[in-house]
Amino acid sequence: MKFLYTLFGIASIASPALAALATTTRYYDGQEGACGCGTSSGPFSWQLGISSGVYTAAGSQALFDTGGSTWCGAGCGTCYELTNQGYSACSTCGTGAGSGETITVMVTNVCPNNGNAQWCPVVGGVNEYGYGAHFDIMSEGLVGGVWDNPVVSYTQVACPSAASSDYEQCVCY
C-alpha cells in the first residue's frame, strides 16, 4: 500500500511539470483557416471568441500536425490552457501584461514556419526566441483586453463544451 501511495504522490507532483513554455502573438486575417473553420468569405463568428476566456488560435507546426500537414492537421480542434507568465519574448515584442491570467485556446489554424520563422518553429526546432511552440491567437485587439504577446505556460486540456460544439461546423471535424 505504501508503494501505491508513493507512486500516486509522485504522479501528482510530476503533473505540473507537463506544462511547457510558448510564445504568443495575435492575428486577425479574416480567412477560413487550415482546419476548415469558416467559409470562403471568412471565419465563423465564434472564432473571435467562443465564450469568455476561450479563443481560437493558429498553432505552430508541432501543435498543428507533427507530420507536416498544412490542412486538417491532427491538432485541429485541440484545446490548450495558456497561463500568462507576465513577460514577452523580447523587449520590442509586447508588454506581456496580464501575469497569472489564464485562457483556453482551440487550434483552428496553422502558424507555418515559412514566412513566420521568427515566431513559428519547425517540428523539433525553436523559434527566434528559443521556444519550441507558438500560439497565434485570433483577436482583433488585445486578448482579454490586456494580453500583449506574453510568453505562456501551456498544457493540453479537454475543450469546453461550447468549443467542441462550435468545432463540429469545421470541415476538418
Q: Which residues are catalytic?
A: 29, 136
Strands 20-27 and 134-138: parallel
User: How many angstroms separate the CA atoms of 41 and 19, rounded?
Assistant: 36
Which amino acid would we find at residue 31? Q
User: How many angstroms separate the CA atoms of 150 and 67, rounded?
Assistant: 28
The C-alpha cell of 63 is what?
Answer: 501543435
Which amino acid would we find at residue 47? Q
Place of cell 520563422: 117
User: How many angstroms separate the CA atoms of 59 and 138, rounded?
Assistant: 11
The C-alpha cell of 30 is what?
Answer: 479574416
